[in-house]
Amino acid sequence: MLASAYVSLKVYRSYVQQYYLITDLNDDVWDNRTWDFVESIETKLPNLSLTALPLKAMKAQYFLYNDSLVRGLELIEETIKEGANPYIMFPEAVKAKLYTAVGQIDSAYYYSRKAYDNLPRNAFHFAELARTLSAVRQYDSITYFFKPIKYFPNQQIWKIYLASITNYMDRIKDSEYAIETAKEALEIFPNQQDLLIAAYFVIHGKENTVKALELENEGKILFEKKLYVEAIEIYEQADKLLESNYVFRENIGSSYFNLKDWTKTIDNLKVVEDKNHDLDGIQNYMLGLSYYNIGDKVNACERLKLSIDQNFEESSNAWGILCGTNF
Give the mean pLDDT of 2-10: 51
Q: What is the pLDDT of residues 295-319, one digit of tens each?
A: 999 999 999 999 999 999 889 888 8
What is residue 327's predicted lDDT score, i.e. its pLDDT?
A: 46
Mean pLDDT of the chain: 87
Q: Is the pLDDT of residue 207 over 60?
A: yes
For the beta carbon of residue 285, count every other beta carbon within 10 angstroms. 24
What is residue 47's predicted lDDT score, i.e. its pLDDT?
A: 65
What is residue 20's predicted lDDT score, i.e. its pLDDT?
A: 76
Confidence category of residue 6, pLDDT binned at 50, 70, 90: very low
Instruction: Answer with the residue of higher pLDDT: 78 or 150.
Output: 150
- Sketch the domain layout of the chain as residue ranges: 1-133, 137-204, 278-327
What is residue 7's predicted lDDT score, i.e. its pLDDT?
A: 46
Instruction: Just give the CATH number of 1-133.
Output: 1.25.40
> Which of 38-47, 170-179, 232-241 shows the lowest mean pLDDT across its residues?
38-47
Q: What is the pLDDT of residues 128-155, one digit of tens each?
A: 999 999 988 999 999 999 999 998 778 9
Q: Is the pLDDT of residue 29 over 90?
A: no
pTM passes above 0.85: no
Give the mean pLDDT of 44-57: 71
